[in-house]
Amino acid sequence: MSAEVKAKKYEKDMTKGKISSLMIAFALPIMLSQLFQQLYNTADSFIVGNYLGTFALAAVSSSGTLIFLMISFFVGLTMGAGIVISRYFGANDRDKVSRAIHTNIVVGLLCGVILTVVGVLFTPTLLKWMNTDEEYLPLAIEYFRVYFLGGVPMVMYNVARGTMNAIGDSKRPLYYLIISSIVNIILDILFVGVFRWGVWSAAFATVISQLFSAVVCFIHLFKKGQVFTVSVKKLKIDKEMFKQIIRFGIPSAVQNSVIALANVIVQTQINTFKAVATAAYGSYSKIEGFAFLPINSFTMAISTFVGQNMGAGERERAKKGARFGILACVITAEVIGVLIFIIAPYLIKLFDSNPEVIFYGTKQARTASLFYGLLAFSHAVGATCRGAGKAFVPMLVMLIIWCVIRIIYILIVMKLFGDISYIYWAYPITWGMSTVVFALYYKFSHWERGFGAKADLINNDN
């Protein structure tokens, strides 16, 4: 069997076939891959909390939002590249697919270097801005500085995964990430549990595992005979493709960044309370990460499905796929939310058996979890817009509601009441507001006119 024939086993042309089967088959490997990614992110907190104690857990948890803030912009750019790749894959334009992939790799390398330099140099300043407690600030600095040393492999894995997902291949990234996750967990246990090297070694284990996943992904991308085969000679920034990646990537990057910025403000307010509150917030965030897996997987499926079908001029099929994806996303998220509401104390206890940590973590979980359906709807409609080439819309909605309004709300309630419970409510309130706006936009706008018909797409690009 030739390499090209083998590759087609993994590629999915979503312009043909049963919509529900295609989207579920695409979303499930993504959800499993993100499950393993979440596992190795969670392994740091779980092992650190159990072996090194509450202060070490607080150091790891104190600025999880800082990591998201630092990487979210660059991951947003790769999302833009995925839209470009998927639309040309749907239009069966192999030359433009190749040019977009090679341009994205070069952009990713540059972004990874910037992330590493900024992260290592400015971690102490950012942590102090976030009111990180002086008692565990040195631990937090050493953890995040080591973590950001893995900036290049972190970004490049997302570039490779986004490339494969854009052409319908969600299985290979899963296989590579499973192995990487196992490596990370083993190294966490070895470095922290056996050698007792300290909190920095948990970050070091993550860097090694991220490097491993990036390397195996690119070994695959360099194989010959595939639609995405990478060649060193072709690694350059193509002006036309770069403009499109920026066009669709910048709104996604800004959207991710403003959400992350708002979360940093929330984390900053949480850090003004005692260490147990910070540890609880970090523990709940890890649980929430698992809850968001179906949301993330279905939104990626929606973007790829809509992008490929819009590229092929299949507008009605794109609309049907979006409807199915939104419904599946909301129902799955709400079921998981109810489950977390019921067993929240037991989940928090996995990270820290301190009664106060369990109390605060459970309180936040039971405030937010029943509203996961609202979050899912907002993300799913946003993914639909991005796939249709209207990435500016979700960026604007989330900038205003999830950033500006959320920050204003938190600053007001903290000044008036100073109760941590009001911080927890910032999320479901703003999720509800964005759901109303997205529902109105989805119903009354003509988002499906994003790229236009296949012929128009090709003519406009030429």
pLDDT higher for 306 or 252? 306
Q: What is the C-alpha to C-alpha distance for residues 254 and 334, in angstroms, rounded to an integer?
A: 27
Contact status, residue 130 vs residue 265, Cβ threshold 8 Å: no
Give the model confidence (pLDDT) of 324-335 as tens digits: 999 999 999 999
Task: With cut-offs at 50, 70 and 90, classify the pLDDT of residue 41.
Answer: low
Look up the pTM and report it.
Answer: 0.73
Give the model confidence (pLDDT) of 225-260 as tens digits: 676 788 988 999 999 999 988 888 888 788 777 777
pLDDT higher for 297 or 337? 337
Q: What is the pLDDT of residue 460?
A: 42
196: left (phi over 0), alpha (psi -120 to 50) or beta: left
What are the φ/ψ torsions at residue 314 (nearest 5 degrees)? -95, 75
Task: With cut-offs at 50, 70 and 90, classify the pLDDT of residue 222.
Answer: confident
Q: What is the pLDDT of residue 339?
A: 95
The single-letter code of the amino acid at 365 is: A
Give the closest residue to 152 by CA, choosing from 117, 199, 122. Answer: 117
Indicate whether 10 pLDDT > 70.
no
Q: Please state the rounded mean pLDDT for residues 145-149.
A: 90
Task: With cut-offs at 50, 70 and 90, classify the pLDDT of residue 9.
Answer: low
Strand, helix or coil at 231? coil
Alpha carbon of residue 235 to chain centroid = 26
Task: With cut-offs at 50, 70 and 90, classify the pLDDT of residue 110.
Answer: very high
pLDDT higher for 354 or 430? 430
Indicate whether 299 pLDDT > 80.
yes
Write down the mean pLDDT value for the chain.
84
pLDDT higher for 200 or 259? 200
Task: With cut-offs at 50, 70 and 90, classify the pLDDT of residue 5.
Answer: very low
The single-letter code of the amino acid at 148 is: F
Q: What is the pLDDT of residue 2?
A: 44
Strand, helix or coil at 332? helix
Indicate whether 425 pLDDT > 90.
yes
pLDDT higher for 243 or 10? 243
The single-letter code of the amino acid at 214 is: A
Indicate whether 137 pLDDT > 90.
no
Q: Which run of H or E residues covers position 156?
A: helix 151-166
Indicate whether 72 pLDDT > 80.
no
Task: With cut-offs at 50, 70 and 90, classify the pLDDT of residue 56.
Answer: confident
Q: Please state the rounded mean pLDDT for residues 398-413.
A: 90
Give the model confidence (pLDDT) of 265-289 as tens digits: 787 788 778 778 888 888 888 888 8
Indicate whether 342 pLDDT > 90.
yes
Most confident of 68-77, 178-187, 320-329, 382-391: 320-329
CA dihedral angle for residue 442, residue 444, residue 450, residue 456, rounded to 10 degrees: 150
Give the closest residue to 247 by CA, choosing from 428, 391, 350. Answer: 391
Name the residue with tokens 């790891």: 60
Indicate whether 40 pLDDT > 70.
no
Within 10 Å of residue 272's Cβ, how many Cβ atoms? 15
Give the model confidence (pLDDT) of 348-379 as tens digits: 988 888 888 899 999 999 999 999 999 999 99
Name the residue with tokens 């069966």: 92
Contact status, residue 374 vs residue 432, Cβ threshold 8 Å: yes
The single-letter code of the amino acid at 392 is: F
